[in-house]
Structure 1
Amino acid sequence: MPLLSRMLASPVSVDIRAGAVDDLPELLAQRRLSSGGDVLVAVGRSTGEEIWDRIGHALPGAECFLVDGATLAEAQRLQDRLGARGYDAVVAIGGGRTLDVAKYAATRAALPMVAVATNLAHDGLCSPVASLEHPHGKGSFGVAMPLAVLVDLDYVRAAPAALVAGGVGDVVSNLSAVEDWLLSHEVTGEPLDGLALAFARTAAEAVIARTDSIRDDAFLVVLAEALVLSGLAMSVAGTSRPCSGACHEILHALDAAHPGRFQHGEIAGLGALFATHLRGHHERLAVMRACLQRHGLPVTPADLGLDAAEFTAAVLAAPGTRPDRYTILEHLALDAEQTAAEVARFVAGEPTGAVVAPR
């Protein structure tokens, strides 16, 4: 019998609106996650704690766990807490760091997890990946994606602008990641997934041409939906490939060289611009740059306080961050002198001098 369809892992509920967090107890009951609110609520400092103080009384069986850093050790501490009694589910309230810790612990404890996002900094709110620090650096770990996602626009509006605009950079970087995947398919034969490509590309295109901003609810809804679509793209592909290419290789290299200095989305966007420059896609580069500038995101290394030599070093180190991944960086295999020249052209707004084989 022919296979006529496939099952896709996805949240059973996605709720993006002002006041969404107030309906968390109802969501847990209606979706049969926990009729009595017997859940462990993992919260980040400040906003997460504030939300717990406001709604904790409506979850009489719930207990609170304060997440202190996005580390593998912290995720293990949460997992140990989950094993102390029979919770029905994990609810994570906060930014990406809190959500990643909770996703990892919930997966290891075989419990469903609800993500309550308080900012839109990157696509981790609905992805099957957790980025956690460990004694030897930072790693990306495969996890189950959240069973439900709530984005309360009241809290997103109140978040620092950089933690919202960052999501724009992460989503826009999908356009570069998709090109890297297509390139790898043609050069190395790496399999493609058309549905994952469609989700990733659609997410970016939904955001890139809009002229409104993070001050507008309509834009925030579209951005949140785009981040969810990015998570679904990764779930469909079974890998971060549709949303992570040379852009994120550069991101990981910058993270390693300057830990804690930059926001995820801002360097994902900058990495995507440089990768698009290397491909010679000048019209697309102009549109991407205009979008990032419109949202106050960096478009040159200097915007991050980096000089050309520091950015060049990150580009040279980038392929080593994901040795299993083939992108425009591996394809061109530029040496130090060539890379420095391309960084100079990129900063000056000049066309690439690299030769890219046509696809």
Structure 2
Amino acid sequence: MSTKIIISPGKYIQGNGELAHIENYTKNYGRKPFIIADEFVTGLTKDIVDKSYKANNAEYVMELFKGECSKVEINRLKALAEEKGCDMVVGIGGGKTLDTAKAIAFYIGCPVIVVPTIASTDAPCSALAVLYTEEGTFDEYLLLPTNPSVVLIDTQIIAAAPVRLLVAGMGDALATYFEARACKRSNAVTMAGGNVTEGAFALAELCYKTLISDGLKAKLVAESKISNSSVEKIIEANIYLSGIGFESGGLAAAHAIHNGLTVLEECHHLYHGEKVAFGTLTQLVLENAPMEEIKEVIEFCKSVGLPTTLEDMGAQNVTEEQLRKVAEASVAEGETIHNMPFNVTADDVYAAILTADKLGKYFK
């Protein structure tokens, strides 16, 4: 029998105004937290954080994150955390801030708490940090031995962020169920280091059902920068259900095709989840999924504003040669497309992209 593994953060806490209770959550992991946030997020959260620590006569150190999750920045902040005698790390902000916090905590050997201020990807819950060079190009993946001790979500802050970020998170989450399903069929090894557990698969499936039932409602509510039960459900789907689902359920064609699309300059303006949404549609074409399923995915994407055609992504004028480069990058050695339950070639991906584009147009 194969080994099945599910991994997750120690605690997932979500609610309106939860950041105001941050001291209450950090005190269980250390007596002096080292908190990082970029300039914008510091302006947004510093008073809330300060009030929480002052009310409890607790100390903390807050430092400015300079914006790039690079080894230079990680080392700079790590040195400051050690110098100030901090015994835990907190990251408040977007993906790069959270990944930097995870990396600092890993190198110091202390707990980390992450506080996402946007719900645009499923990365916060993961035992992974993506490192970049100082110029902002991809450097390497830092695989961590544990997931964050706590993922703390203040839905009031997330609902106030631009709605396109929430929608991009839905695009990232959209792939979760279909990729986990492919990995389950092929018995692939996930990022958790084992095969798909029933629990991870159930969460991946719930993630998809939640998007279909509440995605459009959440988008419409979040346009007014407020939160309600639909927004709460989608934030949980984007961050937690998709986070456990992708890491312990597995990645397949959708994310590999996203990686392929990054070779197109025409797609550089798109968020991660926007490209993943089109990658999901392309994966369903590769699988020759039932037409009802493809139609449901396209209609969901259209309703919330995720791309279903090359034109939606600003890539309507790309050449065959460019698309073949996308297809080749998608099937590179080590890519997650090889977790599909059948062999996939660059020709298969090229044909699937063209077909997905035509289906997207057909259902317009």
Bin for the TM-score computed over the shorter chain: 0.7 to 0.9
1:79 corresponds to which letter in structure 2? K
**Which residue of 263, 271, 274 maps to 2:279?**
271
SS of the counterpart of 1:349? helix
For residue 262 of structure 1, what is the aligned residue in structure 2?
Answer: 270
For residue 348 of structure 1, what is the aligned residue in structure 2?
Answer: 358
Q: Higher relative contact order by CA 8 Å / sep ≥ 6: 1 or 2?
A: 2
CA deviation map 1:105-134 (0-9, x unaligned)? 212221111111111001112112222223
CA distance in 1, matches of 2:75, 2:337: 29
For the pair 1:137 / 2:133, whether they are aligned, the reply is no
CA deviation map 1:55-90 (0-9, x unaligned)? 225435212222223433223333333332431211
Are the structure 2 counterparts of residues 283 and 70 from structure 1 closer, same or farther at C-alpha, using a change threshold of 3 Å?
farther
Deviates more, 1:203-212 or 1:254-263: 254-263
For residue 345 of structure 2, what is the aligned residue in structure 1?
Answer: 333
Does the CA contact (< 8 Å) of 2:176 and 2:246 recur in 1?
A: no
Are the structure 2 counterparts of residues 314 and 81 from structure 1 closer, same or farther at C-alpha, using a change threshold of 3 Å?
farther
CA distance in 2, matches of 1:330, 1:7: 23
For residue 291 of structure 1, what is the aligned residue in structure 2?
Answer: 300
1:180 corresponds to which letter in structure 2? A
For residue 247 of structure 1, what is the aligned residue in structure 2?
Answer: 254
CA distance in 2, matches of 1:234, 1:128: 12
CA deviation map 1:307-337 (0-9, x unaligned)? 35344432321121634761449723143xx
CA distance in 1, matches of 2:185, 2:6: 25
Overall identity of the aligned pairs, in %: 22
**Which residue of 212, 218, 230 maps to 1:213?**
218
CA distance in 2, matches of 1:157, 1:80: 34
SS of the counterpart of 2:338? coil
SS of the counterpart of 1:301? coil
The alignment's C-alpha RMSD in Å is 2.9
CA distance in 1, matches of 2:335, 2:360: 29
SS of the counterpart of 1:173? helix
TM-score of the two chains, using structure 1 as the length reference: 0.82
For residue 175 of structure 1, what is the aligned residue in structure 2?
Answer: 177
For residue 198 of structure 1, what is the aligned residue in structure 2?
Answer: 202
Are the structure 2 counterparts of residues 191 and 89 from structure 1 closer, same or farther at C-alpha, using a change threshold of 3 Å?
closer
2:202 corresponds to which letter in structure 1? A
Deviates more, 1:135-144 or 1:150-159: 135-144
For residue 21 of structure 1, what is the aligned residue in structure 2?
Answer: 19
Structure 1 residue 197 displacement after superposition: 2.1
Question: Where in structure 2 are the equivalents of 1:1-359 lying within 5 Å?
Answer: 9-29=7-27, 32-35=28-31, 38-59=32-53, 60-73=58-71, 74-134=73-133, 137-143=138-144, 144-185=146-187, 191-210=195-214, 211-214=216-219, 215=221, 216-226=227-237, 227-233=239-245, 237=248, 242-258=249-265, 261-281=269-289, 282-307=291-316, 308-309=318-319, 310-320=322-332, 322-323=334-335, 326-328=338-340, 331-335=343-347, 339-349=349-359
Structure 1 residue 234 displacement after superposition: 5.2
1:263 corresponds to which letter in structure 2? Y
Structure 1 gaps of 5+ residues are: 1-5, 352-359
CA distance in 1, matches of 2:202, 2:16: 28
Are the structure 2 counterparts of residues 329 and 193 from structure 1 closer, same or farther at C-alpha, using a change threshold of 3 Å?
closer
Structure 2 gaps of 5+ residues are: 189-193, 222-226
Does the CA contact (< 8 Å) of 2:309 and 2:360 recur in 1?
A: no
SS of the counterpart of 1:40? strand
